Amino acid sequence: MGKESSNILTIREFVQGLAAASASGIYGPSRAAAAIIGHADLKLGAKVAPVLEALQAASPNRFRGIRHNVTWSPDPAVDNRESEGILANSAFREGAQVLCHEGFSLDVMISFPQMPEVADFARAVPELPIILNHIGALNRVGLYANREDEVRAIWQAGIAAVAAWVSITGSASSLP
């Protein structure tokens, strides 16, 4: 594993310690970090397995899955985090199969026009629980500014595409 993986593990170990302190009840009834989501690069394909194993070892009773920001947009105002079409990439899908086999979930950050790609990805890995962050990340800036009807129609079509998959759950944080 590289330096980035080591840093991620150090953070997970720290959060695991905070969660254990919270679970002790000494700080009251609240339970911080009852579940932990990490990060692993699914583009590693099958080679992601040792990273997942290390994350699980760092937080054996709380690690539930990973978040992978797959945001891509032709809009220069959007900070792209991945290459176009990453959800169809064979290595990424192979890594997702490993994640699924280990019983973990995948949180994805996207740009809202990518929702049909998420639905196609779910078709390729149907047993993988997918959490669609921010209900598809509807936005109205850059290329999408002042195009309310068109943007809403694209977003609604995307919601319909992902709604066809019981393995996809929407996260309702940070709504516009």
Listed by start position, the domains of the chain span 35-170
Residue 110, amino acid? I
Beta-carbon contacts of 77 under 8 Å, excluding residues fewer than 6 positions away, are 141, 142, 143
Residue 70, both tokens: 């797959």
Q: What does the pLDDT look like over 12-68, one tens digit per residue? A: 677 767 777 777 778 788 777 778 899 999 999 999 999 999 999 988 888 999 999
Q: Dihedral of the CA atoms 174, 133, 108, 83 (nearest 10)?
A: -50
pTM for this predicted structure: 0.83
Q: Does domain 35-170 have CATH number 3.30.70.360?
A: no
